[in-house]
Amino acid sequence: MEVLVQWFTDNLSQFISSEMVIFIISMVPILELRGGLLAASLLKIPAATAIPICIIGNIIPIPFILLFIRQIFKLMKKTKIFHGLIEKLENRAMGKSDQIKKYEFWGLMLFVGIPLPGTGAWTGALVASLLHMKFGKAFGAILVGIALATVIMSILSYGVLGVLFMIPLRQALIVKEHGVLPYPEGQACAEVLIAGEQGGSKAGVVFAGMGIAALYKFVADG
């Protein structure tokens, strides 16, 4: 995905605004909102600006997929050129449908919301349509899933984890006193914020630290 995002970003940004770039990326299958937010971080677009643009871009194709994709596929399967391709797409989508069949709304929501390869709003909408899920239920689940994906990808792309944990301490102990903090706790808060703002592998250090701390607490408490 990162390679595709970089390609779109490098090529489209020469002709259109950065905001339009992430809007288009968010509409593209495979990339969707997660790709849009990654591109936004590369283009230095503030999260407050990027998030609503990417959400809208990701949502726009969904009603059309839910309402019309079966009819479109049916017509395309009547042609020799597209018959094999459409069957392959349908089989691939249905191969990922077990969770959605079993849990319906919640299964579709998690399928869309957790950013794993082969998941997302496009595929979720396709599976929901092929399963003849009611439009209202499917669209609602996809909206909630997109909201969940937004939270996850915002943390990964913009490193907001440190901000979420340290807002109460930021002004008093970090913004004004970074570099001269006498207490280890204050220095730790500052480093978490720095790691969070850099995102990517730096944010991974924060998660690792949380995991080690939880494990230590579990062992210490017996």
Q: What is the DSSP string of 36-67?
A: HHHHHHHTT--HHHHHHHHHHHHHTTHHHHHH
183 — pLDDT class (breaks 50, 70, 90): very low
4 — pLDDT class (breaks 50, 70, 90): confident
Residues 74, 107, single domain; the answer is: yes
Residues 69, 147, single domain; the answer is: yes
Domain range enclosing 70: 62-158
Residues 179, 211, single domain; the answer is: yes
Residues 102, 45, single domain; the answer is: no
Residues 118, 191, single domain; the answer is: no
| Average pLDDT score over residue span 183-191 | 52
- Tell me how many domains the chain contains: 3
Q: Has residue 189 got a pLDDT over 70?
A: no
Q: Looking at 112, 128, 158, which one is the last position of a domain?
A: 158
Residues 174, 191, single domain; the answer is: yes
Residues 34, 80, single domain; the answer is: no
Euclidean distance between CA atoms 192 and 166, whole angstroms: 8
| Average pLDDT score over residue span 71-94 | 91
Euclidean distance between CA atoms 63 and 99, whole angstroms: 21
| Average pLDDT score over residue span 59-63 | 96
Q: From residue 22, give the alpha-carbon distance in Å to each of 9, 116, 123.
A: 8, 20, 20
Residues 43, 121, single domain; the answer is: no
Q: Looking at 158, 182, 206, which one is the last position of a domain?
A: 158
Q: Looking at 11, 29, 59, which one is the last position of a domain?
A: 59
| Average pLDDT score over residue span 130-149 | 96
Q: Which two tokens stand for residue 136?
A: 């209202």
Full-model pTM:
0.69
Which residue type occupies 38?
L
Q: From residue 132, give the alpha-carbon distance in Å to each of 104, 119, 142, 166.
A: 11, 19, 15, 45
> Which pLDDT value is given to residue 30?
87
Residues 152, 180, single domain; the answer is: no
Residues 172, 185, single domain; the answer is: yes
Q: Has residue 21 got a pLDDT over 50?
A: yes
Nearest to 29 by CA among 57, 49, 50: 57
Residues 111, 128, single domain; the answer is: yes
